[in-house]
Structure 1
Amino acid sequence: MQSKLPSSLVGKLFGRRLPFHFLAAELHKRWGHYDGFKVLDAGKDCFICQFKNDADRDAIIRSGPWTVAGQILGLDVWSLDFNASSSVGTSTPIWVRLPELPLYCWGKENLARISSDIGAPLWLDPVTANMDKIAFARVCVRVNLVQPLKPGVWIDGPKGKFFQRVEYEGITVICFKCGVVGHRDTSCPLQGPTLPVNEFTIPSPAPSNDMMEINAVHTQPDPCENASKEPVGPWMLVTNRRKPQNLAGQQPKQVVGNKSKPATSLNSAR
């Protein structure tokens, strides 16, 4: 069975349903230059993308973010336990913003640690890396789309712990009850109370000499801190942003003025 689907990805659109023929045509526009590329309908709003070799497949899954008709595209490497009824197409790179992040939290190492509580850090926006604008820090992370998006992270600063909000770019459909992408409150399978802020832990490598060490902490929020009870909500989403699709295998770029600058990899910063 493994030989029947070599070098394949399974995928799913997290948003409104699109006709398969439309989806397949859009994917061929993006990835049809790869030899042997083929899209198969797997049912249950899932699809399989076949490639000629693992290198082409990996070039796709390591790049992105990918969208079709404004909907986030989740991808995962095909495996023997694939089931269209289960949650597939689970992860994707997403650009996130950290609004009003204190300046002592900036820098490649610090931002890698902070963003690792949101997902796997991938790239740092060059405007952020150069501190050309400081209204927010912008980082690309790979997130699991079947898990609730995290509204923010807890950080230890010089005056104590504070809650840093996170804003997500490119998300069009999300439930503000459970925090999961792909459905809305009215169709939430949980139908439970609004999801509170998550607490999590970040490893604490030694900071560089020109930065103050910061760490997100795993702790119960202080009841007197209103931010600790902040639920997921519309404020998590960045609206009206149009970002051009980058080609597979190419490093993402951020357009600054009339020049295009490559993003900074965060893989070596953790």
Structure 2
Amino acid sequence: MEESSHGPNGAESTAEEADLLRRSTKKYKRHRDEKENEESVKENEKSDMVMEDLGVDLTGVGNQKQSVNNIPAAISFKAALTNDQAHLYEGSDDEEELEDEIPEPVVVKPWPSLDVSKDELQKLRRPWRKALIVKLLGRTVGYRVLRQRVEQAWKLRGNFQMVDLEEGYYLVRFATKEDYHHVLFYGPWTILGHYLTAQKWKPDFVPSREGISSTMVWVRFPQLPIEYFDKDFLLRLGNCIGKAVKVDVPSSKSERGKFARVCVQLDLTQSLISKVTVRSLDYCVEYEGLHSICFECGKYGHQKDTCPNLVVSKPQNTDMGGTSGGTSEPAAGSKR
């Protein structure tokens, strides 16, 4: 008769099998944990290399690694070119706080002085951060006329508010971000034959203390040979006058040949360029919309008869009481 598996020999065999199974399971778990640790170390090293390549400083971080989400996003080419990112449209409280951290000098005056806290200052400035300051260059028009004209020129999608200031300045607030950028970047705008300058609103703007030093204007190059009606070449030619912004579409496509037309950011504090030379040939430069140019100093803003550089000679004083046929004594300080 065969022995039952529940006998002494069967019990020893079962115990050995159980012990072998327990050791095998323990060895498998230890091998699995070691493999997971190796993979974890490799993953951490790979993460550190990525963070270092992205320019993140890991010094003193220890086991707590910085998240990739903390890395600042790269700005677009347009934002770098125009220096105008989306958050600047509504304004930034952080930037304003940094500016206001510099204490103003305390000056004792004989009249009352009112202090404004940072919180109150931010509250007062917030509604105007997405506004533009505009002014018609060289001409003064009324509020209703200007508003009607800019509505026709801008063709905005939303509504806008226009506030009249002193010295011919106006403050314009827009309902949409797109309209704000459209007016600021897609000029120059011409109203009644004069340029409408546009700039971002800035705090503590006082019209009587401001002056327009630059604006975008259309520049013509009459009688320029047709082979030079190339976009890249015309931009180079515009840079000889100021900072070239764009080329007129008919000029870039050679559709009109009487003159080439380039939009240029012009420094109004400098003398205007009257001619350019291309391959030893001189070509005149014409400025559209600038009606007050001095032909003495070449600057914008006054005429030749009021030019500060023009020296007006004063007639010498004569002695009407002298003898007939005699000469009078020269005036004091004059030379013979």
In the superposition, the TM-score normalised over structure 1's length comes to 0.57
Q: Is the counterpart of residue 173 in structure 1 residue 292 in structure 2?
A: yes
2:180 maps to what in 1? 57
Structure 1: give runs of 5+ residues left out of the alignment.
195-270
Q: Is the 8 A contact 1:74 1:89 kept in 2?
A: no
Picking from 192, 205, 211, the partner of 1:87 is 211
Picking from 309, 313, 326, the partner of 1:192 is 309
Structure 2: give runs of 5+ residues left out of the alignment.
1-123, 312-336
- RMSD across aligned C-alpha pairs, in angstroms? 3.0
Identity among equivalent positions (%) equals 30
* 2: CA distance, partners of 1:91 / 1:119: 10
Structure (1 or 2) with the larger CA radius of gyration: 2
Question: Aligned letter for 2:160?
Answer: F
1:265 maps to what in 2? none
Higher helix share: 2
2:266 maps to what in 1? 143
3-state SS in 1 of match to 2:149: helix
* 2: CA distance, partners of 1:150 / 1:58: 30
* 2: CA distance, partners of 1:165 / 1:37: 40
* 1: CA distance, partners of 2:144 / 2:247: 35
Picking from 235, 243, 251, the partner of 1:112 is 235
Q: Is the 8 A contact 1:150 1:166 kept in 2?
A: yes
Picking from 126, 138, 157, the partner of 1:15 is 138
Q: Is the 8 A contact 2:156 2:179 kept in 1?
A: no
Q: Is the 8 A contact 1:9 1:50 kept in 2?
A: yes
Q: How many pairs align?
A: 187
* 1: CA distance, partners of 2:204 / 2:297: 26
Give the drift of 1:60.
0.8
Give the drift of 1:9.
1.2
From the superposition, tell whether residues 55 and 16 of structure 1 become closer, same or farther in structure 2 (CA, over 3 Å): same
Q: Is the 8 A contact 1:174 1:181 kept in 2?
A: yes
The correspondence of residues 38-77 of structure 1 with structure 2, limited to 5 A, is 38-77=161-200
3-state SS in 2 of match to 1:44: helix
Give the drift of 1:43.
0.5
Give the drift of 1:103.
5.2
In the superposition, the TM-score normalised over structure 2's length comes to 0.47
